[in-house]
Amino acid sequence: MGKLFSINNYNEIKEIFHDKGLKCTPQRQAVLKVLQESKGYLSISKIHRNVKELLPGTGLATVYRSLETLIELNLVVKVHLEDGCHSYAVAPKGHRHPIVCTDCNRVIDYTECPMEDLSKKLTKDTGILIQNHFLQLFGTCKQCQT
């Protein structure tokens, strides 16, 4: 089927798949595109609904599988909400943290990681070897502060 959508960085995306021996299928592209265009996190069912508009007949199982793949490739992140988990958003590049606007669901990319220094300090202080962390910020974005 080949290139279906005008994802701006299509060749880049294609390479990321091929580097890991994975196929660049229209379904995977569609899931990514839906998230790229939403500018916010989306639940599985919303992703499925939007994907079907681009690619009617796409199965729910495929959406689950695509998200799994996209997360492995670091193209997508899972967003954990206070209750009702498992929404998804496009991944910021590198190690960053998402700021979720609780009004419009938009996900804003936060580029500084306050944990780098802290992790070292903590390991030194407590003896616990910090290996990973999970940080999300919730707030109200500029546009929603009216």
Partner DNA sequence: GCCCTAATTGAGAAACTTTCTCAATTGTAT
Partner DNA sequence: ATACAATTGAGAAAGTTTCTCAATTAGGGC
Q: The dihedral of CA 102, 106, 108, 114: what is its sign?
A: positive
Residues in Cβ contact with 20 at an 8 Å cutoff, skipping those fewer than 6 apart:
72, 73
Amino acid at site 113 = C
Q: How far apart are the first and last CA of the chain?
A: 46
Which residues in 89-118 contact Zn ion (CB under 5 A)? 101, 103-104, 106, 113, 115
Rule CB under 7 A: choose which of 41, 66, 70, 88 binds DNA.
Answer: 66
Say which residue the tokens 């580029």 belong to.
111
Stretch in the footprint of DNA (CB under 7 A) among 10-18, 104-112, 116-124, 138-146: 10-18
Q: Tell me, residue by residue from 48 to 87, as one string, x for binding to Zn ion by CB under 5 A and - for no binding.
A: --------------------------------x----x--
Q: Which two tokens stand for residue 51?
A: 């994907």
Is residue 22 part of the contact set for Zn ion (CB under 5 A)? Answer: no
Q: Using CB under 7 A as the criterion, which residues of the chain lie in contact with DNA when the complex forms?
A: 1-2, 14, 17-18, 21-28, 44-45, 55, 57-62, 64-66, 69, 86
